[in-house]
Structure 1
Amino acid sequence: MDYQILALDLDGTLTNSKKEITQPTLEALIEIQEAGKKVVLASGRPTQGVMPLAEQLHLEDYGSYILSFNGGRITDCRTKQAIYNKILPVDCIQGIYETVRKYASQGIDVLTYTPEHILSGIKSNQYTKLESRINQMPVIDASENFLDCVPDDPNKFLVTGDPAVLDQIRKELSKQFHSYLSVYCSDPFFVEVMPAGIDKAHSLLKLLTSIGLTTEQMICCGDGYNDLTMIETAGLGVAMANAQPAVRETADYITKSNDEDGVLHVINEFMR
């Protein structure tokens, strides 16, 4: 198959344990873009949190794409315009905040994003700080007036804290807003609160339609539960050797781990 587009999760997939792209993988990704193929950085991170890696890979020069907020937004790196943008229902925002805030005494925080900052709605915890480090974005304390600070177009909220407490919050939000929101864990200490029906596969299908490609021409690589749908949808769904068991079971192909240049191995096998 003549694969034309490569969608890559970031943490645990494209980047190694040091959160870095190795030089051989970097060079290979630039080489396939020079040959006319497209790269999509597909992440739960906010758009700004993906930008440093996009710049390393010269996505702007080659007209490749960022899929951020787990599919809430797709950005054309060349034009800087959103090809697809799905925001949280306005009527749900206050209810989400009030539900999460009930757990404030248990060390929970709720976050959303501006183009430059992460807004902390309760009190920053160790996982809020981790989100800040991952995305290289500063945290602003918005606990006094969080609802007034939320942008007009929020793509997601992120709830951070102890996994046992987060599971309770996830269940409560899912029950309360089941027809309006998708609520799931991307990590044990992160609960993603997204518009209903939004995931990486949904948004990749929008992108493929807009650029005239098919799922059969797409390779998707990932390691986590939020990568399952895109791996299932792709012409070639690839799990990293370090992927969750359910991801490895779903994939068409298992590559090497993220610390063994697994993405480079995929490129060498299927895109050169």
Structure 2
Amino acid sequence: MAYRLLVLDLDGTLTNSRKEITPHTLETLIHAQERGIKIVLASGRPTYGVAPVADKLRLTDFGGYILSYNGGEIMDWKSKEMLYENVLEPEVLPYLYECAQKNNFAIVTYHNEFVITEYPDDEYVQKEALLNVMQLKKVDHFLDAIQFPVVKCMIVGDPARLVRLEKEMFDYLKDRMGVFRSEPYFLELVPKGIDKAQSLAVLLKRLDIVPEEVIACGDGFNDLPLIKYAGLGVAMANAQPVVREHADYVTRSNDEDGVAHVVEEFIL
């Protein structure tokens, strides 16, 4: 089977422990695109948090895609056209805000290149903005500022207290939306049923590509549906054990140019 699409998770997969793409991996991915391979960057990050990586890989030149918010959005990075979007029910937003307020946590959402928050000085809010290379935008009242479709909110704060709030919110919202921690201090609040594989299926239909023509690389639990769905599901050597167990192939770690090794082995 000739592969046509390469789907890459970012943190722990494409980027190394310093959150960088190594020169060797960059060069290898440019060569793959020159041969006609399309790249999809599939991440839990907001769209504009993936943008610096997309630009480094020259996805605008070669016609690549960003699958962000763990599958909540798909954007054609060349045309900047939004191809798919799954948003939160507006009716649930006041409850999310109330949960944050009564527990003295900061809540954030995202709009274009901005992280929207009432608390830009919060250490965890700043960590999220830094991770995604996005600007902080202070608002006087969170709910009043949301005049756009919301793909994801996040409540951030002390891990020990946040774990209790996670259980409370999950029990209340489990039939309506997803509630989970991506880091001990980050509580993700997303539309129900979001995952990278479901969103990728939407893109493949649009591109007239079948799963057997796809290589997908990842390391985390949220990459597992993607790895199972792709024709060649690849786990990094640093991946969670269950991810490695379900992969078709285990490559080197993200600190050993594991993605470049896959491309050299199966594409170049």
Residue 135 (structure 1) aligned with residue 132 (structure 2): yes
Query: What is the TM-score of this pair, normalised by structure 1?
Result: 0.93
Give runs of aligned pairs for residues 141-220 of structure 1, distance below 5 A.
Answer: 141-142=138-139, 144-220=140-216
Per the alignment, residue 267 of structure 1 pairs with 263
Per the alignment, residue 83 of structure 2 pairs with 83
2:67 partner letter: L
2:117 partner letter: S
Question: Percent identity between the aligned chains?
Answer: 49
Per the alignment, residue 18 of structure 2 pairs with 18
Shift of the alpha carbon at 1:124?
A: 4.4
How far apart, in 1, do the equivalents of 2:75 and 2:145 lie?
24
Shift of the alpha carbon at 1:121?
A: 4.0
Shift of the alpha carbon at 1:102?
A: 2.1
How far apart, in 2, do the equivalents of 1:122 and 1:102 lie?
15
| Pair 1:232–1:191, CA change in 2 (3 A) | farther
Per the alignment, residue 4 of structure 1 pairs with 4
User: How big is the alpha-carbon RMSD for the aligned residues of Structure 1 and Structure 2?
Assistant: 1.5
SS in 2 for 1:183: strand
| Pair 1:151–1:26, CA change in 2 (3 A) | farther
How far apart, in 1, do the equivalents of 2:50 and 2:10 lie?
9
Unaligned stretches of 5+ residues in structure 1: none
How far apart, in 2, do the equivalents of 1:252 and 1:192 lie?
29
| 1:174-193 C-alpha deviation (Å, 9 max, x unpaired) | 22222221122222222211
Unaligned stretches of 5+ residues in structure 2: none
2:267 partner letter: M
How far apart, in 2, do the equivalents of 1:161 and 1:246 lie?
28
Structure 2 residue corresponding to 1:113, chosen from 110, 123, 126: 110
2:114 partner letter: H
Query: What is the TM-score of this pair, normalised by structure 2?
Result: 0.94
Shift of the alpha carbon at 1:165?
A: 2.4
Shift of the alpha carbon at 1:197?
A: 0.9
SS in 2 for 1:71: coil
Shift of the alpha carbon at 1:170?
A: 2.2
1:98 partner letter: E
How far apart, in 2, do the equivalents of 1:180 and 1:50 lie?
27
